[in-house]
Structure 1
Amino acid sequence: MKNFEVIKLNDSEYDYMVMATTCISPISTLTDIQNELEDKSGKIIFDLTLINGTSSNRYISASFENGIFDRRSFETVKVIKTSIEHISLDFFVHHLDLVENGTIPNALKSLLVAGVEV
């Protein structure tokens, strides 16, 4: 099982969202993401909710060119647009097994399963 899922974004400042799907950060397996992105370029946002919960490092952004990440571009996203939060929440609502089997606190699991913005 992959530890991430890539979502193509439209009408966003980001081109792709990478959702962590296990307790292993997708940032630790960048080569796998690069293989999936092949020769694409743009800006990506990582949603690490299943790893970090709702802490300040829940979202990380980075740039990539020709499928290769610029490792100096990684930064914590302090302010996230509502549209990105909705995409994230929709992902979790449609992947309840990931939430229920995750290591995040039960209170957060309940909120995500119920589709409540966190």
Structure 2
Amino acid sequence: MSTPERYKIEVTAVAEYVTAQSRPEDDHFVFAYHVTIRNLGTVPAQLLARHWVITDGNGKVQEVHGQGVIGEQPLLAPGEHFEYTSGCVLETPVGTMHGRYQMLAEDEHRFEAEIPPFMLAMPRALH
């Protein structure tokens, strides 16, 4: 079942490798990801919770559940956006992330905003 247009949230994410915090010789690869959440719907909506699925290059999956993002539960009016940066650590130089945000509209309708998959990759790890 698709979400009605009035509850349309667009999520984009871009990752970058954090060389200064990574230790490839110890299988410790640090990535930052920059997320933009846009309310393209017609009703205000608040981000209540997150669910991330992080998969490394060996197929190992970590799931992260939590309230809000970076300690906040932003309320987005129609046309507004919220940006934040967070990070994760993998044991491999390549991986992927995707997930969803649990949202609550001003009219009390609960819905999920999908976070499309994006790549985590150390420079030159992919040919």
- Normalised to the residue count of structure 1, the TM-score between the two structures is 0.28
Larger fraction in helix: 1
Larger fraction in strand: 2
Larger radius of gyration: 2
